[in-house]
Amino acid sequence: MTLSTNWLLTWAFLSGFIVDLFSDTPGVNSLSCILLAVVKRPVLYAYIPKDDRTKDIQPSLANLGFAAYAKYLLTMSVIYCFMVFIIEYFSFGDVKEIVIMASSSSVLTFGLLLGIDSLMVTKRD
Note the pLDDT tens digit of each residue in 26-80.
889 999 999 999 999 899 989 887 776 767 788 888 888 889 999 999 999 999 9
Q: How confident is the model at residue 101 (pLDDT cuts 50, 70, 90)?
A: very high
Q: Could you tell me the pTM of the whole model? A: 0.86
Name the phi and psi angles at 82, rounded to 5: -65, -40
Tens digits of per-residue pLDDT, 33-44?
999 999 998 999
Least confident stretch, 2-6, 61-65, 119-123: 119-123
For the segment 109-125, the average pLDDT, to the nearest whole number, is 81
DSSP string for 77-108: HHHHHHHHHHHHH-SSTTHHHHHHHHHHHHHH
